[in-house]
Amino acid sequence: MSELPRLVRPMMAVLRHGLPADDDTYGWELKWDGVRAVAYVEDGRVTLMSRSDKDMSRSYPELTALGGRVDEPVVLDGEIVALRDGRPDFGLLQSRMHVHRPAERLLAAAPVLYYAFDLLHRRDRSLLDEPYTARRAALEELDLNEDPVHTPPWWRGGGAAVLAASIDQGLEGVVGKPLGSRYAPGRRGPWIKVKNVRHQEVIVAGWTPGEGRRADLIGSLVLGVYDDHGLRYVGNVGTGFTDRILRDLAGALAPLERRDNPFDTTVPRLVARTAHWVEPELVGEVAFAEWTGDGYLRHPSWRGLRPDKEPELVRVEPE
C-alpha cells in the first residue's frame, strides 16, 4: 500500500518586473488570484493544506469531490479560487477564507474551484525530482477537468503572448517555470512571476480614526512587514474598504488592542500621534503602485485579510 508524504510545502516564485530574455526555456502559466493549497488525496479523502501548514479542508467542503476524481493516491499543488463572471475574484473568496464550517447559503453564493497545476506524488512514487514537463504530463493524465477541479493550461515559451492574454482577461499576471526545473518544497525560485498589479502581504499594527462620514469607523490601517531589524512601518492604507469591511475589521482588532507602539523602527510622528495600536497578529494584503525611496507603499489599496498567512513570515516580497 502506498503512503503519501506527511507534508510538502509549496514551492514559491520570485517576483520579476519583466519577462526574461530566454522565455522560450520556460513553461508559462496564468497566475490565479486565490489561496495556494497542497491537496493530499487518498482512499477518497482530501486534505487541503495552506502555505502556513494549516488544514483548510473544512472551509472548502465542495473540494472533497476531488477524492472521487482520482483513483490513486496523489499530492497536488494548486490554487483555490472563486470566480465572478468567469474571472477570479479575491473579494468573493474573502467571504470563504475565515469560515471553518460554511453554511449552504454561503456555499451557493461563493462556490470555489481548485486549479491543480502540479503533481508532486503519485501512488508510491515522488515526482519532486522530475522536470516540470514530466510532472505536467503526469498531471494531465489524471484528466481533472470538471467542476470543481480543473487542470489549467500551460504554454512552452511565448511568455509575452501569455502575459498579454492575462492582461486582456483581467488576471493577476503569469508564472514562468523552467522546463527542466525540479520541485523544491518550501524554496523560492527558480520559478518566476510577472504581475500586472503589485501585491504585498502586510501586518496590521494599528489603525487611525476616520473623518467625515467615516468618523465612527476606521480611517486607515497602520501597516508593517518584518525585516532583519524587526517589525518595520511601511505605510497606511485607507482605500479599498466598504463600511461593512471596516466594521468587521474593528471587531477583529478590538481584542488585540495594546498601549504601546509594536514597531521596531520609527513611525512618522503624524501617524503615531493618532494611532490606536494593536498586537501585530492579523495579516492582510494590499495592491500598490511601487515602493518609495523611504521604503513605504505608494498608493496602497486594501484587498483583504489573509488568515492563511503567518505574521512572522510577512516580509517584502523579494525581486
Active site residues: 31
Phi, psi of 5 (to 5 degrees): -60, 150
CA distance 88 to 83: 4
Q: Which residues are bridge partners to 245 per DSSP?
A: none
CA distance 14 to 76: 21
Coil, strand or helix: which one is 197?
coil
Instruction: Find out whether 113 and 80 touch, Cβ atoms under 8 Å.
Output: yes
CA distance 236 to 227: 18
CA distance 134 to 154: 13
Which DSSP symbol is given to 257? B
Q: CB neighbours (10 Å) of residue 139?
A: 23
Least Cα distance to 148 among 272, 32, 61, 209 occurs for: 61
Least Cα distance to 279 among 261, 303, 299, 304 occurs for: 261
Which DSSP symbol is given to 55? B
**Sequence-ordered list of residues with C-beta below 8 angstroms from that of 243, at least 6 positions apart, any chain:** 214, 217
Which DSSP symbol is given to 258? -
CA distance 17 to 173: 11
Three cell numbers at 280?
Answer: 501585530
Instruction: Find out whether 43 and 66 touch, Cβ atoms under 8 Å.
Output: no
